[in-house]
Amino acid sequence: MHMTTTQKIILSVFLIVVAGAIIISRTPHKKNNETTPQPPIETSGPELLPVPDVTTEKPTPPPVVNEGPVEGQEYYFHTMTTTDISKELTDLVGADNIMAVLQTNRVDLKNIKQGSKIVIPVAFGSESRSPFPTKIDSLSEVPKIIVFAQRVQAFGAYEYGTLVRWGPTSTGKQSTKTPNGLFSTNWKGKEVKSSFDDEWILKYNFNINNFEGIGFHQYEMPGYPASHSCLRLLMPDAVWLYDWAEQWVLSPDGNTRLAHGTPVIVFGDYGFGKTAPWKLLPTNPDATDISLGEITTLVEKNISTIMERQTERQTVLAQ
């Protein structure tokens, strides 16, 4: 059939439209925002494992179990389970015996915390054990004397050789140790500024070394040697010694010492880096004992000087 030129043009356009439609119908249709999938990237090495979910919470510690004293023991350990320390100790030993617990542990009440492991005596009152001998014959002619035992962090006060009071102390820390030797009580003050830091107020202070500013007084008792050379005391002991010991006697112008005060002997060495002796009491009830032989030897080394000063004092006071 013979086609006109116009018919040929129409037929060509038709064929082109049909071919385009066929091509479009064979092309995969993409959804909106869909990207063409990419082939996986080849990796080498072991397969990566999922990271486990790690919690930051600490496990709850098991509750503290205090079983109390074992039969035959003179001391036992108790771990404080509450923050109300005074009430817990009162419930444990009675209000009248809290001071004996503080004595035993060389600590004041504010330095016992929840979780603190402390030593508890089984017996109290007259049965409580002092580190010092109750009687020292070589001191039978000495009206008053105070001894500080650094090894066991305790003091003892004697009248004519009989122990009349003992208590805990906190002597100099390792970098500022309290010197050993024979001293005497000089001057005293109920509130004295420390020569190391004038913000430190030393209550019921009794000086024993005027040149170095060393004395015994009330201050924080943490349960170990912590002072800057002084001898710290619990408040009741500081008040008692303040009233009991005697001051030196000075000339009217205050420039010359005419007589010494009460003799004071500081002796022994604390075992820094070792277990405190009182922490050994539950297994060794003699761990803090100062033997009669040890203290007698100590007194004999100093007794002639002590007696000379005593005679001097009696003479001055008699004038």
Give the DSSP letter string of 254-317: SSSEEE--SEEEEE----TTS--GGGGTTT-TTTTPPPHHHHHHHHHHHHHHHHHHHHHHHHHH
Compute the mean pLDDT over every residue in the chain, rounded to the nearest whole number: 86
State how far the Cα of 202 lies from the Cα of 210, in Å rounded to an integer.
Answer: 15
| Rounded-to-integer distance, Cα 192 and Cα 188, Å | 9
Could you tell me the CATH superfamily of domain 130-318? Answer: L,D-transpeptidase catalytic domain-like (2.40.440.10)
In angstroms, the CA 155 to CA 158 distance is: 10
- Per-residue pLDDT tens over the stretch 143-188: 999 999 999 999 999 999 999 999 999 999 999 999 999 999 999 9
Q: Judge whether 163 and 156 are in contact, CB under 8 Å.
A: yes
User: pLDDT, tens digit, for every residue of 248-273?
Assistant: 999 999 999 999 999 999 999 999 99
Cα 291-297-298 angle, rounded to 5 deg? 95
How many whole angstroms separate alpha carbon 165 and alpha carbon 93?
21
Taken as a whole, the chain contains a residue count of 319
What does the pLDDT look like over 46-87, one tens digit per residue?
Answer: 445 555 555 566 666 667 777 678 888 899 999 999 999 999
pTM of the model: 0.79
Phi, psi of 207 (to 5 degrees): -75, 140
* Bridge pairing between strands 75-79 and 117-121: antiparallel
